[in-house]
A and B are shown apart, each in its own frame.
Chain A
Amino acid sequence: MRILLAIAFLTSAALLSPDATSVSADTGTKTEAPRPTVQAGSANLDIQEHVLDNGFTLLVLEDRRMPRVAANLWIRIGSMQEPTGLHGMTHFLEHVIHQGTTTVGTNDLSAEMPILQDIHDTEQELIAVRNRERNQLRERDVFFDELAWPGTPETDALRERLYKLEDQDNQYRDFWTSYNAYMGNGGYARHADPVPASTEQDYMEINMALPKENLELFFRLEADRMANAILRGWEAQRFTVLEQILGGQGNPQTRFNQAIDGVTALVHPVYRADGGHLRDFGNFNRAAQQKIYDDYFVPNNAALVLVGDVTMAEAVPLAERYFGQLPRGPEPPADLDVEAEPVPGGAIRLDWTEPLSPQVHVRYRIPGMGHPDRPVFDLIAALVSGPHGIAGQRLASGGTSASVSADFRVIHTSRFGSPGAFNLVARAGADGELAAVERSLLATVDDLLNGRIDPGALERAHKRLRVEWAEFLANPQELAFLIGHHHTMNNWSVLPALVETRDAATAEDVQRVAQTYFVPSNRVIAVARAQPAEGSGPSWLDFVWSDLPADGR
């Protein structure tokens, strides 16, 4: 058993004392020895790390403010490792691994097994038929209905058989077993969904905050899910997940954002929709998911983060009892992390032709978490955002009513080990303001390049980052997520280093970074209008799209 040393990033007085606190019923105050006020801006993370013999990593951050523990399991797999044509499959896998295991979610596993075998065999046959008839299944139209999944009579029949087999299996199922176990034992997740998990470009995470007394439940359920998940209810889940994607597609802003992601780089999977494309849902198959599961759901590719009223001494025995039983697997390949390849020749401009609230996006490709320049971008985002940031000041002086913000969103996620994006976004009051808004945003960039940085705005930006960091420290679930994400991208130590570097960043650092990255050949400008000059013409949304048949056709 290897134990790695705890590394305390305490640049000021400890935020989180290991001493027990008690809540006085008489005074409404938590009583403990007085401690210095938190020095905001310091990372204040005392993360302990322990690695089991099988490579499973345990990260513990003690927080005794409340007798609960935020548990967050991380698997290093995401949409960036998906083959073309199967986009969104990993996110879908996240849903189906929550349908039970060999010991959870079943009333009679021995009765299920022959059905599961039949499902496997039928799907193999379906894959073989699709391979053989692929010329009939290829899309031919330029303007196509993404929900019209092509099929043949034979594929239709096989799909119908799969539905019936799953109906048979349903009679042996106990639905929502793990979720119900969590709920009944006082668990709640980061977002209200019976699948307490998320999948993005470079991770899958499963989270639950539980009363500390019930923490073992997480170990029991999640170790089992990593080892023995059964992809039950696969067909129903496929449509459930499809509904999530459709919901996003129904929002015109989502479509615009996706288009910006689509043009940002010639080839980089980070900019590809992690929820997948509607058409690909017709291609999904269990066999491909099982391969991902067998290759990547191994303990040496996983980390568990615990933030709350728990010590490493308490967590290790639980980890050994459950996750320690999982055999180490071959090292799964990481995503091929290459630099985003911009379109040769210079800046990209996207003029969106679907009506949308008037807005201008100025995007620059930036390096990922762990790169020494990355922390300064956090400061730049805070510096330019809001009515009193330097972009807001430019817009006001230009006489526009636009509001401005900056973020790092690519698809849904804001931080990557891979290269990502810095987005400067202004929402105008009217189409007529757009030219002035764009000029103001580019003038803002010019301000950064030339070091014209208002000291007041810089001070406010630093303050904003300190408050934001304090908000993370105050919220165990969000903090567990942040730690886990950084560990999955690189190593958790990147996080406190990031916080300290950006807290120390100066106007000169801002200028240096801007001069490196905020250049035209690294830029995308996207503009949308309430009344575009010409319509987009027929698109798949304009077609009468077919009913969604259950047979996948």
Chain B
Amino acid sequence: MRAGVRCLVAVAVFISTGCGGGGGDSLPGHSRPILEHDWADPSDLSFGAIGFTPPDPTAAQFEAPSGLRAYIVTDPSEPLVRLSAAIPLGRLREGTGEAGASALLTRLLTTRGAAGATRPLTLSLAELGTTLSVEETLDVTKISLDVLPEDWRTGLELLVQLLRNPDLDASAVRQYRVGAGYSMPMSGTGGSGFRPKVELARVVAGYPLAPPDPGTTVSLVAIRGLASRSLAADRVVLGVGGAVSRSDVEDAIESLSDGWSTGTAPVLGLNSIEPNDDEGRFHAIDVPSLEGWIAIGKVVGTVPSADQATLAVLRFILAERLNIAAREMRGLANRDEFEIPVTGSGTGLLTVRTGGRPEAVAPLVRFSLDEIERLHDPSAPVTDVEIKRAQGWLVNAVWQPTLGLATSASVAVAVEHARRGGTDRLMGWPRAVRAVTAADVKALAERYLDPETLVTVVVGPLARIREARHPRWPIGLDEVAASLTGGN
């Protein structure tokens, strides 16, 4: 038992000067002795094969005569029922003249209730004891609610009516203005409203990767056009998961969707976002703030299916390296993360996001870029240990729980279908991830993460950031900017 022996050797070498209580050696400063044990090193623990069988989406699928599709995953032991709708809605689904329509349509759906409803949506939800949960991405919008098992039929009717008969109130449409697209003040690097990421998207590609310009209005024609494509019976995908009877749900869906039209015009889906012409590699935006916030990245076009698992593995490894470099070793930031797109085609933004106090900003940019450059260093390989860890996490910590419960599984397969037209990729994900090698990751990094193509955006109190120097890593922001722009 390697670890146990190591512990005992250390104790034998060490001469305690601690307060020492009760015999046995102590760690410096401790009053109690080191616990000697013979526990195996964690890496030497061996576990049984993970026995998880996901639900079969093919068996869970139901299609009503209207064309409305649903994934019904039942489990009588669930304490609630999750009802969800995955809608092909997002900025990538907007056509000419429809910029901003997705966000507005989502807002109308989730605040106004169905057209002609006799009671406010808020009251209907309150009577169910629930609220709507909304998640918007570039290509799919998900709306869901949790209800008690006794209320599933009422909840399903509410959800279907919202989608089938949206209240596209002309006055609400006319009053709407696209917002900034980001949240202020920033505190932390999370959330879709992280301003540096939004500004990065504006710089590298603009709309539709970035939100439309603030103040943009949306026409009623645009809303109606988008709604006709995205909210048709054969476009929305429902998820129903939990303590329900499958046959009852099928009957209800059939009844509720009777007469609901299918779409005529095809759903739009921009597969590849094109980058802007070179707008420079460094941008700084002055905002009064206690800290400075950073996004580093680029836009990618279509990511072939064969590359998507490798990209996910790369994401995990780079995020780990960034956090160790910035947070653990240097205490510069609370987080230093790397994100990849969540779209059907893989198009979107590759982003590092981080931030910290003013004197940490320039070092954070420098060390983050260093970690990306290290991916290309032939003498610093991606290791098999890193690969295995990424695989274990992607399959057993992300994929498995997504499909582990009836509630979550029904949502996951519905969203996947709305995004990709089927569930093959989702169900084949473990195999794809386990096939990734270190060589694959290195090769992908070469193709997608050339440091010379990355753009850096800094948002914060620029005067303070510029004059600040971290006493341990005295890198100046202007120095970093010059290295990225060649002094221009």
The residues of A with any CB-CB pair to B shorter than 8 Å are: 15-17, 21, 23-30, 32, 34-35, 37-38, 40, 44, 64-68, 99, 102-104, 109-110, 113, 116-117, 119-121, 123, 147, 163, 170, 175-178, 180-181, 183-188, 193-194, 209, 211, 213-214, 216-217, 220-221, 223-224, 227-228, 230, 233, 235-244, 246-252, 254, 286-287, 290-291, 293-294, 322, 325-327, 329, 386-389, 460, 463-468, 470-471, 473-474, 541, 544, 547-551
Nearest-CB residue, chain B, relative to A541: B290
Residues of A within 8 A of B148 (CB): 40, 463, 466-467, 470
In the assembled complex, the Cα of A217 lies from the Cα of B56 at a distance in Å of 30
In the assembled complex, the Cα of A40 lies from the Cα of B149 at a distance in Å of 9
Q: Is B219 an interface residue (CB 8 A)?
A: no
Residues of B within 8 A of A120 (CB): 17-18, 28-29
Residues of B within 8 A of A66 (CB): 401, 404-405
> Nearest Cβ in chain A — how far from B271, in angstroms?
29
Q: Which of B51, B76, B185 contacts A34 (CB 8 A)?
A: B76
In the assembled complex, the Cα of A21 lies from the Cα of B47 at a distance in Å of 21
Contact B42 A186 (CB under 8 A): no
In the assembled complex, the Cα of A463 lies from the Cα of B125 at a distance in Å of 11
Question: Provided the pairs A220-B39, A246-B290 are in contact, do residues A102 and B470 lie with their beta carbons within 8 angstroms?
Answer: no
Residues of A within 8 A of B246 (CB): 29
Contact A26 B80 (CB under 8 A): no
Nearest-CB residue, chain B, relative to A187: B397
Question: Provided the pairs A40-B79, A243-B356 are in contact, do residues A184 and B55 lie with their beta carbons within 8 angstroms?
Answer: no
Residues of A within 8 A of B401 (CB): 66, 68, 188, 209
Question: Provided the pairs A293-B30, A386-B126, A464-B129 are in contact, do residues A240 and B333 lie with their beta carbons within 8 angstroms?
Answer: yes
9-residue interface stretch from B136-144, B157-165, B324-332: B324-332
Q: Is B398 an interface residue (CB 8 A)?
A: yes
The residues of B with any CB-CB pair to A shorter than 8 Å are: 3-4, 6-7, 9-10, 13-14, 17-18, 27-32, 34-35, 37, 39-43, 45, 47-60, 72-80, 120, 122-123, 126-130, 146-150, 185-188, 243, 246, 289-291, 316, 320, 323-324, 327-335, 356-360, 388-389, 392-393, 395-398, 400-401, 404-407, 464, 468-472
In the assembled complex, the Cα of A121 lies from the Cα of B329 at a distance in Å of 22
Nearest-CB residue, chain A, relative to B145: A467
Question: Provided the pairs A66-B401, A175-B324 are in contact, do residues A15 and B77 lie with their beta carbons within 8 angstroms?
Answer: yes
Having A103-B3, A240-B328, A247-B291, one finds 16 other A-B pairs with CB under 8 Å, namely A23-B53, A28-B59, A32-B76, A37-B150, A38-B243, A65-B78, A117-B28, A186-B393, A209-B401, A228-B7, A250-B291, A294-B32, A460-B126, A464-B130, A474-B405, A550-B472
In the assembled complex, the Cα of A24 lies from the Cα of B10 at a distance in Å of 52
Contact B470 A547 (CB under 8 A): yes
Contact A243 B333 (CB under 8 A): yes
In the assembled complex, the Cα of A251 lies from the Cα of B186 at a distance in Å of 7
Residues of B within 8 A of A24 (CB): 56, 59
In the assembled complex, the Cα of A217 lies from the Cα of B47 at a distance in Å of 9
Question: Provided the pairs A27-B59, A28-B73, A547-B469 are in contact, do residues A183 and B392 lie with their beta carbons within 8 angstroms?
Answer: yes
> Nearest Cβ in chain B — how far from A499, in angstroms?
12
Residues of A within 8 A of B471 (CB): 547, 549-551
Contact B29 A287 (CB under 8 A): yes
In the assembled complex, the Cα of A290 lies from the Cα of B27 at a distance in Å of 10
> Nearest Cβ in chain A — how far from B349, in angstroms?
19
Nearest-CB residue, chain A, relative to B26: A294
Contact A388 B123 (CB under 8 A): yes
Q: Which of B7, B52, B75, B405 contacts A29 (CB 8 A)?
A: B75
Q: Which of A17, A28, A220 contacts B60 (CB 8 A)?
A: A28
Contact B78 A474 (CB under 8 A): yes
Residues of B within 8 A of A293 (CB): 30
Residues of B within 8 A of A116 (CB): 27-28
Residues of B within 8 A of A240 (CB): 327-328, 331, 333-334
Contact A23 B55 (CB under 8 A): yes
In the assembled complex, the Cα of A290 lies from the Cα of B10 at a distance in Å of 20
Question: Provided the pairs A109-B6, A216-B47, A550-B472 are in contact, do residues A247 and B334 lie with their beta carbons within 8 angstroms?
Answer: yes
Contact B392 A221 (CB under 8 A): no
> Nearest Cβ in chain B — how far from A310, in angstroms?
13
Contact A247 B187 (CB under 8 A): yes
In the assembled complex, the Cα of A254 lies from the Cα of B185 at a distance in Å of 11
Contact B328 A175 (CB under 8 A): yes
> Nearest Cβ in chain B — how far from A72, in angstroms?
16
In the assembled complex, the Cα of A326 lies from the Cα of B406 at a distance in Å of 40
In the assembled complex, the Cα of A74 lies from the Cα of B178 at a distance in Å of 46
- How many A-B contacts are there with CB distance less than 8 Å? 313
Residues of A within 8 A of B327 (CB): 194, 236, 240
In the assembled complex, the Cα of A199 lies from the Cα of B316 at a distance in Å of 27
> Nearest Cβ in chain A — how far from B12, in angstroms?
9
In the assembled complex, the Cα of A140 lies from the Cα of B249 at a distance in Å of 70
Contact A181 B35 (CB under 8 A): no
Residues of B within 8 A of A30 (CB): 74-77, 406
Question: Provided the pairs A26-B59, A40-B79 are in contact, do residues A186 and B395 lie with their beta carbons within 8 angstroms?
Answer: yes
Residues of B within 8 A of A163 (CB): 472
Contact A27 B56 (CB under 8 A): yes
> Nearest Cβ in chain B — how far from A391, in angstroms?
13
In the assembled complex, the Cα of A243 lies from the Cα of B323 at a distance in Å of 14
Residues of B within 8 A of A465 (CB): 129
Contact B9 A251 (CB under 8 A): no
Contact B396 A463 (CB under 8 A): no
Q: Which of A23, A252, A290, A460 contacts B29 (CB 8 A)?
A: A290
Contact A185 B392 (CB under 8 A): yes
Residues of B within 8 A of A541 (CB): 290
Contact A246 B357 (CB under 8 A): yes
Contact B129 A466 (CB under 8 A): yes
Q: Which of A34, A102, A389, A549 contacts B10 (CB 8 A)?
A: A102
Residues of B within 8 A of A117 (CB): 14, 17, 28
Contact B291 A246 (CB under 8 A): yes
In the assembled complex, the Cα of A473 lies from the Cα of B396 at a distance in Å of 22
In the assembled complex, the Cα of A99 lies from the Cα of B126 at a distance in Å of 46
Contact B56 A26 (CB under 8 A): yes
Contact A104 B42 (CB under 8 A): yes
Residues of A within 8 A of B127 (CB): 460, 463
In the assembled complex, the Cα of A327 lies from the Cα of B406 at a distance in Å of 43
Contact A113 B13 (CB under 8 A): yes
Nearest-CB residue, chain A, relative to B122: A387
Question: Provided the pairs A25-B56, A66-B405, A239-B331 are in contact, do residues A113 and B79 lie with their beta carbons within 8 angstroms?
Answer: no
Contact A388 B126 (CB under 8 A): yes
In the assembled complex, the Cα of A81 lies from the Cα of B468 at a distance in Å of 36
